[in-house]
Amino acid sequence: MDLILLGAPGAGKGTQGALLAERLGIPKIATGDILRDAVRRGTELGRQAKRYMDAGELVPDEVILGLVRDALREAERGAIFDGFPRNVSQAESLRSILEELGRRIDAVVSIDVPSEKIVRRMTGRRTDPETGLVYHLEHNPPPAEVRDRLVQRDDDREETVRHRLEVYRTTTEPLVAFYRESGVPLYAVDGDRAIDQVQGEILELLERNTPVGS
Ligand code: AMP
In this prediction, residue 214 has a pLDDT band, given cuts at 50, 70 and 90, of very low
Is 129 contained in some domain?
yes
* Cβ count near 69 (within 10 Å): 12
CA–chain centroid gap for 194, Å, is 18
33 CA: nearest ligand 1 atom: 2
In a domain, 212, yes or no: no
CB 39 within 8 A of CB 50: yes
Closest residue CA from atom 2 of ligand 1? 32
Residue 213 falls inside a structural domain: no
In short, whether 52's Cβ falls inside 6 Å of ligand 1 is yes
Q: Which of 69-73, 86-90, 93-97, 210-214 comes out lowest in average pLDDT?
A: 210-214
Task: Print the domain residue range for 137.
Answer: 2-207
For residues 48 and 63, the answer to whether their CB atoms sit within 8 Å is yes
Interval between CA 4 and ligand 1 midpoint (Å): 14
Distance CA 58, CA 42 (A): 19
pLDDT tens column, 15-50: 999 999 999 999 999 999 999 999 999 999 999 999
CA of 193 to the centre of ligand 1 (A): 24
pLDDT at 186: 96
33 falls within a domain: yes
52 domain residue, yes or no: yes
* Residue 213 pLDDT > 50: no
Residue 211 has pLDDT above 80, yes or no: no
Q: What is the mean pLDDT of residues 168-190?
A: 97
Is 84 touching ligand 1 by the criterion CB < 6 Å? Answer: yes
Span 77-97, average pLDDT: 98
Asked, for residue 214, whether it belongs to a domain, the answer is no
- Compute the average pLDDT of residues 156-183: 95
Q: Residue 36: what pLDDT?
A: 92
- Kindly state the average pLDDT of the residues 83-101: 97
Asked if residue 58 has pLDDT above 70, the reply is: yes
How many Å lie between the centroid of ligand 1 and the Cα of residue 115? Answer: 18
| 100, 178 Cβ separation under 8 angstroms | no
Is residue 196 situated within a structural domain? yes
Q: How many domains does the chain have?
A: 1
Confidence of residue 210 (pLDDT cuts 50, 70, 90): low
Q: Residue 36 belongs to a domain with what CATH number?
A: 3.40.50.300
- Residue 85: is the preceding peptide bond cis (ω within 30°)? yes
Q: 178 in a domain, yes or no?
A: yes
Q: Which residues pair with 109 in a beta bridge?
A: 5, 187
Q: Ligand 1: which residue has its CA nearest to atom 12?
A: 53
For residue 100, what are the CA distances in angstroms to 47, 52, 78, 95? 31, 30, 14, 9
Atom 5 in ligand 1: which residue has the minimum CA distance?
Answer: 32
Position 22 scores a pLDDT of: 96
Q: Looking at the annotation, which residues are catalytic?
A: 13, 86, 125, 153, 164
Q: How far is the CA of 90 from the centre of ligand 1 (A)?
A: 12
- The residue type of 156 is D
